[in-house]
Amino acid sequence: MRKVLELLLVAALVLSFSLLPSAAFSAVDEAVALEAGPAFGDSEAVKAFWDRRHTFEEMEQLLKDLAAAYPNAAKLYSVGHTWEERPLWCLEVSGGVNTARTDGKTPIALIGNIHGGEHESGESVAYTAWWLLSAAAAGDAQAARVMNEYVTYIIPVMNPDGYVNSFTMNTRQNMRPTDRNGVGGPFSDPYLDLNGDGVIGQMYTGGTETAPPAARSSENLLGYESRDRDGNGIFGDDPKGSTIDMNRTFDYLWNYNRPYETPPLGANAWASAGPGAATEPEVEAIQNFLRVRRPAALITAHTGIQCVLYPWCYSPDPSPDDAFFAETAEAMRAAFENTVVPVRGEKTTFYVKRSYEDYPTSAELIDWAYGRFGIHAYTVEVYSRGTGQDQWQDPRPSANEGDWVYLGNISDGRSGSNRTTYENVWIWNARSQQLLGHAPPDQQIMGEGFKNSALVMIFSEGSQALAS
């Protein structure tokens, strides 16, 4: 019964994508094995850049270029959409993907950027797609093996709305319309770059025309750069971005609450979980896609703490596959750490944990994937912005915590006699905000490390050698 249902779902999915002439499936029945080398295409066909971040448009273009350049090994389709109707692009990578069946191959999924501000996670996943295709065409044996024995579903950006917004302001969340201050409807007081310097800073009073305020406190803080469009007298208190963490919103133990346990479970998820299990269009789309394609293993890529995590997130108890997870995750960690090089004398290190031991959460993607379907699911965290011994460093010459920038006089959005004008306002551009548009200095090596980690995971799953 379940098998029949699966087949129907697969058929429905194939039809709904309909990017492929239906004859292609019936014309060639056999999965194909291609020799490493030019059979996959021209290894130089797509000259991607990795020294800065891709805008979402550039990311889309890269995926389209890869699909166009490697028709023998890649196809591109959207598996769903966001609140703002951006597509969730998936590049399906496998030898003969457009002309032969791939259903004898082991399915794998790589998903980046569930948290919009974590651009590096999207870069790392996109790098892996580009590497697989270019390297297979150049004759690399590992890439060719992935092409011949696996089908890899690569979704670099799962939160495109947050990704786009994060070039202005770090936006972990998605864009479900949210009215944070109860005035004027959703997103009614968005941030606005008032002085046009490309950074949204916080505005303070208490300075003069020539000297910034002596201190920063709640007493002299006006808010983030904005026009107070909703006219409640508070600047930037209804910015774009929901309050939802999509990685607390999957349909597995959604909002699981055990506040009486130690550590209390649920506190972390309760404040940020979506309004119900899989309520968000992005989460629903990824669940549907994974439910049908049923990968043997997946990585959800994040940015921040340089580690490899595995289930469970919700419980300290070992999962049935704990020994396998621990061994594979440790090999993935070592592969990443052995690839990266010291930057300015500092070597980036990585650690391995059960996700619960990092901190307890629930309704994460990896718990859903493993708990529902037994998918071997890992969280891989790549580099973070900011400073610290294991993080990449500020590319600006000055390493100040932030900079003061003079703005001038500004009025809030209230009307008539309620309007208040503040004189000699200064903007505090915190360094973390200024770094939003910058890539780590060794972003390509970071991508290489992630790719090597992903290869370890892929080869940890069994595959069937295909007849040539």
Interface with Zn ion by CB under 5 A: which residues? 115, 118, 302
Minimum distance, C-beta of residue 288 to Zn ion, in the bound complex (Å): 22
CB nearer Zn ion, residue 115 or residue 376: 115
For 309-463, where are the alpha helices, taking DSSP H only? Answer: 322-339, 355-358, 365-373, 431-434, 443-460
Minimum distance, C-beta of residue 247 to Zn ion, in the bound complex (Å): 6
DSSP state of 324: H
Minimum distance, C-beta of residue 116 to Zn ion, in the bound complex (Å): 9
Residue 90's closest CA among 319, 360, 292, 320? 292
Q: Whole-angstrom Cα distance, residue 74 to residue 42?
A: 13
CB nearer Zn ion, residue 122 or residue 413: 122
Q: In which residue are the tokens 């457009």 written?
A: 98
Minimum distance, C-beta of residue 16 to Zn ion, in the bound complex (Å): 29
Query: For the purposes of burial, counting CB atoms within 10 Å of the CB of 401, is it exposed (0-12), middle (13-18) or buried (19 or more)?
Result: exposed
Minimum distance, C-beta of residue 279 to Zn ion, in the bound complex (Å): 19
CB nearer Zn ion, residue 114 or residue 143: 114
How many other C-beta atoms lie within 10 A of the C-beta of residue 12?
A: 11
CB nearer Zn ion, residue 92 or residue 118: 118
User: What tokens does 230 get?
Assistant: 């909703």
- Rounded to 5 degrees, φ, ψ at 451 are -60, -45
User: What tokens does 304 get?
Assistant: 């921040």
CB nearer Zn ion, residue 172 or residue 240: 172
Minimum distance, C-beta of residue 443 to Zn ion, in the bound complex (Å): 17
CB nearer Zn ion, residue 75 or residue 248: 248
CB nearer Zn ion, residue 48 or residue 435: 435
Minimum distance, C-beta of residue 418 to Zn ion, in the bound complex (Å): 41
Q: Residue with the closest Cβ to Zn ion?
A: 302
- Rounded to 5 degrees, φ, ψ at 127 are -60, -40
**H/E segment holding residue 422:** strand 421-430
- Asked if omega into 320 is within 30° of 0 (cis), the reply is no
Q: Whole-angstrom Cα distance, residue 197 to residue 404?
A: 12
CB nearer Zn ion, residue 94 or residue 170: 170
How many other C-beta atoms lie within 10 A of the C-beta of residue 421?
A: 9
Q: Whole-angstrom Cα distance, residue 162 to residue 178?
A: 14
DSSP state of 109: E
CB nearer Zn ion, residue 35 or residue 357: 357
User: What tokens does 91 get?
Assistant: 């590049």
Q: How far is CA 8 from the centre of its chain?
A: 30
Q: Is the dihedral of CA 64, 65, 67, 68 positive or negative?
A: positive
CB nearer Zn ion, residue 115 or residue 385: 115
Minimum distance, C-beta of residue 118 to Zn ion, in the bound complex (Å): 5
Minimum distance, C-beta of residue 303 to Zn ion, in the bound complex (Å): 6
Minimum distance, C-beta of residue 114 to Zn ion, in the bound complex (Å): 6
**H/E segment holding residue 239:** none
For residue 189, the cross-strand partners are 238
CB nearer Zn ion, residue 203 or residue 273: 273
Q: Are strands 297-303 and 421-430 parallel, antiparallel or unpaired?
A: unpaired
CB 189 within 8 A of CB 233: no
Residue 316's closest CA among 352, 353, 356? 356
CB 407 within 8 A of CB 427: yes
Minimum distance, C-beta of residue 302 to Zn ion, in the bound complex (Å): 3
Q: Whole-angstrom Cα distance, residue 455 to residue 452?
A: 5
CB nearer Zn ion, residue 34 or residue 307: 307
Minimum distance, C-beta of residue 440 to Zn ion, in the bound complex (Å): 16
